[in-house]
Amino acid sequence: MNSTRRAWAVALALLAPAAAQGAGYGIYEQGAAALGMGGAHVASVHDATAQFYNPAALPRLAGTELSLGGTGLSTRTSFAGVDPFPGYGTSEAMVNGSFFPPAVYWASHLGSSLAYGVGVNAPFGLGIEWENPERFTGRERVTKATLETLNGSLSLAWAPTETWSIAAGANALYARVELNNIGTFITDGGQPVNVLRAQLKSDFKPGVGFHGALLGQPWTNWKLGLTYRSRVKVKVDDGKATFQQIPTGDAALDATIAAGKPANQKVATELEFPAMFSVGLAWEPTPDWTYAIDGIFTGWSAFEKLPLHFASDPSLDRDIIENYHDTYAVRVGAEHRLERYTYRLGYYFDPAAAPAESVTPLLPDASRHGATVGLGLVRGKWTIDAYNLFLFVEKRSTETRERDGFDGVYKSYVNAFGASLAYHW
């Protein structure tokens, strides 16, 4: 491969996965009570996390509430290659990851029928890092990547009757990315030699969205909830692409790489975070039991392509095709309220959004099954909730169709533990 083509390939390999990371990892873990029920909370929510799950429930909350919470996510992922590349017998693993997305919610009233809510959370994110990056067979695609988001939202809710309420609001989503990879040169002997480290890094950039919600009691002991959150586009207009040459000891090769190495420059792209529509139904056959089911549509098809624009070298501009598809997730849960504590159980199924050709070392997206247990305690004006999520990720094979020719089978496992502390007055 000549130096010009090598520079082009390295630059595109650096940026191409950015949409995949943004698309594949929504963080629905936004409240310990909710996740104890598998996240089935659109119709059954009864705390300040209504700001996320269904703001129309805000007028139904008593008094004022401040909720502080977070989740600890631990991930393990492995990869087994297939022919033709990287070949059978190839075995890779990610560094075990730990992530701690926070969530803060405030809910209060403006009158007998009006209420408002404020929230700060991280609805998208996570990251990856492959072991032994200098030898990782997918190092041209990615060695380490992170996506961080911070979302602030405000909602106003109105209950015109005792059984129905509506809400609307706006949110500002800030996102930043960092992506690292290593460019290689194929020698005459057919062996790849590391020649270039590449990094894309951006500051936090904002995007704006809106949301609406409905909550009602159409039948005795039944509640119906609807929540819509809009798509948000974050424009990165000053991302920094930097390139550092790796000396090989071969003077002629080093001179060739130096001559073709891209200049450090700004890169522009767009990160799109999908719209989501949720519908929930909750049944309370007795005062101490609640059963809930939610259906969640996520518009991942917004990630049809990723445009790339290089400030210093427009010849590198390109649209990276992703072709994600929309998904429909199902969440079910139950809550039993006793005199001194509450226990909860839940399950959910979240199907993969990425087609096989878009399953990459950056995001080995696959369908997921989650089983949850939760416990809640009320002591005076304080409420403590905790949950544990066991997330079983289905094996995902690229079926020799990954668009860059890096094929194999990915296996992942995720465990999450979360807790929240709320004060009511």
CATH of the domain at 147: 2.40.160.60
Element (H, E) at 183: strand 164-186
Domain count, the chain: 1
Distance CA 37, CA 44 (A): 10
Greatest alpha-carbon pair distance for the chain in Å reads 81
Is residue 317 a contact partner of residue 308, using CB atoms and an 8 Å limit?
A: yes
Q: Which domain holds residue 163?
A: 3-424
pLDDT of amino acid 24: 52
pLDDT of amino acid 25: 64
Residue 115, φ and ψ in degrees, nearest 5: -150, 165
Q: What is the pLDDT along the chain (425 residues), one digit of tens a residue?
A: 444 344 444 444 444 433 333 335 678 888 999 999 999 999 999 999 999 999 999 999 999 999 999 988 888 999 999 999 999 999 999 998 788 888 999 999 999 999 999 999 999 887 889 999 999 999 998 999 888 999 999 999 999 999 999 999 999 999 998 889 999 998 887 889 999 999 989 999 999 999 999 999 999 999 999 999 999 999 998 899 899 999 999 999 999 999 988 899 999 988 889 999 999 999 999 999 999 999 999 998 987 777 878 888 887 787 777 788 999 999 999 999 998 899 999 999 999 998 999 898 988 889 999 999 999 999 999 999 999 999 999 999 998 888 889 999 999 988 899 999 999 99
pTM: 0.90
Burial classification of residue 365, based on how many CB atoms lie within 10 Å of its CB (0-12 exposed, 13-18 middle, 19 or more buried): buried
Angle between helix axes 251-260 and 3-15 (nearest 10 degrees) is 60
Distance CA 391, CA 415 (A): 6
Is residue 179 a contact partner of residue 15, using CB atoms and an 8 Å limit?
A: yes
Residue 88 tokens read as: 């059978």
Q: Where are the beta strands (DSSP E) in 220-275?
A: 222-229, 232-245, 265-273
